[in-house]
Amino acid sequence: MEEKNACREGVRSVDGKRYDCILVDIDRTLWDFATNSREALSELALERFEGLSPEEFIGVYEKHNAELWSKYDRAEISKEELRVRRFLLPVEELGLRPPSDMTEEDYSLLLSEEYLEKMGLKTGLVPGAIELLSHFRNKGCRIAAVTNGFRETQYGKIERSGMSGYFDAVVVSEEAGFNKPSAGIFKVALELLGGSKDRAVMIGDSMENDIKGAMDFGIDQVYFNPAKEKSEIRPTYEVSSLHEIISLLA
């Protein structure tokens, strides 16, 4: 009798390795974070910041947001700090005045909530995302989404963009208690799938969080690198499009 959580059949790589448990990142790997985020930020800027171009606001926001996420990934700041400061810092830098009855911090929290609401409605996916998930599902693999982020936001993205039916497990850092690249979050995902390290592979776009994290945990990796950025780290496999993975892991 098949074990309840056992992986089945699976895919075979071009070099003969077999995988039946697929761990995959969400933001920028399957869900088109850059496009969806900029659309949401542009809408927010047009509604809230009269006389300021959305492009100027987005540039300042993205600078601070990237720095704050790096700190969050290293557990240097909390979820609440990130949510407030990624808008507070642009508000301060651009001299944006909050409504007369609000402090800058309260205004920043409001902006954060409005941004997350808008983000939750975005459904843009990276080309080939659904085809890739369908390929793994048709091959009998078990699939886990492994993502850093906030629970309500990540589940909303997965549900509204039509991906929820493809995942056997969704592991969000806020729930798991570990952020990528910590080995803990990969361990949680693999345990939920009932798989073994030698039959598991991690797919993601972040060299540090996805690839190095999976490497240190002891599982193979597929580096999704559409920008073809250079790195001294050598992943198990590297692709520039999701469609390549279907041929790579057939």
Q: Quick: pLDDT tens for 47-91.
A: 999 999 999 999 999 999 999 999 988 889 998 899 899 999 999
What pLDDT band is residue 8 in, cutting at 50, 70 and 90?
A: low
Residues 54 and 140 in one domain: no
Instruction: Please state, for a pLDDT cut of 90, what percent of the chain lies above it.
Output: 88
pLDDT at residue 221, as a whole number = 98
Q: Is residue 60 part of a domain?
A: yes
Structure token digits, residue 35: 């496009």
Q: Is residue 5 part of a domain?
A: no
Q: Above 80 in pLDDT, residue 1? A: no
More confident position, 245 or 149: 245
Mean pLDDT across 221-248: 97
Residues 243 and 138 in one domain: yes
Overall number of domains in the chain: 2
Q: Above 50 in pLDDT, residue 32? A: yes
What pLDDT band is residue 152 in, cutting at 50, 70 and 90?
A: confident
More confident position, 162 or 1: 162
What are the DSSP calls for 105-145, one per residue? HHHHHHHHHHHHHHHHT---B-TTHHHHHHHHHHTT-EEEE
Q: Above 60 in pLDDT, residue 5? A: no
Last residue of a domain, one of 120, 152, 171: 120
Residues 132 and 238 in one domain: yes
pLDDT at residue 6, as a whole number = 45
Helix, strand, coil abundance in the chain, percent, nearest 5: 50, 15, 35
pLDDT at residue 81, as a whole number = 94
Residues 92 and 109 in one domain: yes
Domain CATH code at residue 160: 3.40.50.1000
Q: Which domain holds residue 67?
A: 34-120
Residues 26 and 88 in one domain: no
Q: Is residue 6 part of a domain?
A: no
Residues 111 and 143 in one domain: no
Instruction: Please state, for a pLDDT cut of 70, what percent of the chain lies above it.
Output: 97
Give the lowest-confidence range in 22-31, 38-47, 150-159: 150-159
Q: Is residue 128 part of a domain?
A: yes
Q: Above 80 in pLDDT, residue 30? A: yes
Residues 115 and 138 in one domain: no
Last residue of a domain, one of 65, 94, 120: 120
Q: Above 90 in pLDDT, residue 39? A: yes
Q: Above 70 in pLDDT, residue 238? A: yes
pLDDT at residue 2, as a whole number = 40
In the β-sheet with 21-24, what is the strand arrangement from edge to edge? 169-172, 142-147, 21-24, 200-204, 220-224, 237-239
Residues 233 and 139 in one domain: yes
Residues 111 and 189 in one domain: no
Residues 227 and 150 in one domain: yes
Last residue of a domain, one of 120, 140, 164: 120
Distance CA 235, CA 229 (A): 13
Report the predicted TM-score, pTM, of the whole model to 2 decimal places: 0.88
Residues 151 and 227 in one domain: yes
Domain CATH code at residue 82: 1.10.150.240
